[in-house]
Amino acid sequence: MSKIEVRSVTKTGQSTTYQILLGPSHVVSRRYRDFEELHEFLTKKYVSSGLQVPHLPEKKAGINKTTSTEKNRAQLEVYVNQLLFHPHFVKEPELLKFFEIKPVAEDAAAA
């Protein structure tokens, strides 16, 4: 898997939607709240095992909305890459669901 890109941002009223490019024809749209929910889930699930979940960047809203939105986009791009390239999190069903990735069966992956 190559680097994941958070390419574009769409603003509708008060909400911002991030377009995440996972491959040439695999794009998913997520709001910041979706990232928060995923992060909360991973943190709750793995806190007792000592596995550290990458830091979710804070949602920034500044006077210059274009600059704030670009910073959020860039930081979320780092975050998703940290998750998807982590040897443990990449297998997490909730993460695969978030990115609409179908899990590969263990026996098919070994073939």
Q: How many percent of the chain have pLDDT more than 90?
A: 46
CA dihedral 83, 40, 36, 81 (to 10 degrees): 0
How large is the average pLDDT for residues 80-84? 93
Q: pLDDT tens for residues 102-111?
A: 766 544 444 4
Q: pLDDT tens for residues 48-74?
A: 888 999 999 988 765 556 677 888 899
How large is the average pLDDT for residues 10-24? 85
Single pTM value for the model: 0.82
How large is the average pLDDT for residues 65-94? 88
How large is the average pLDDT for residues 7-29? 85
Phi, psi for residue 92 in degrees, rounded to 5:
-70, 120
Measuring CA to CA, which residue among 6, 4, 20 is closest to residue 73?
Answer: 6
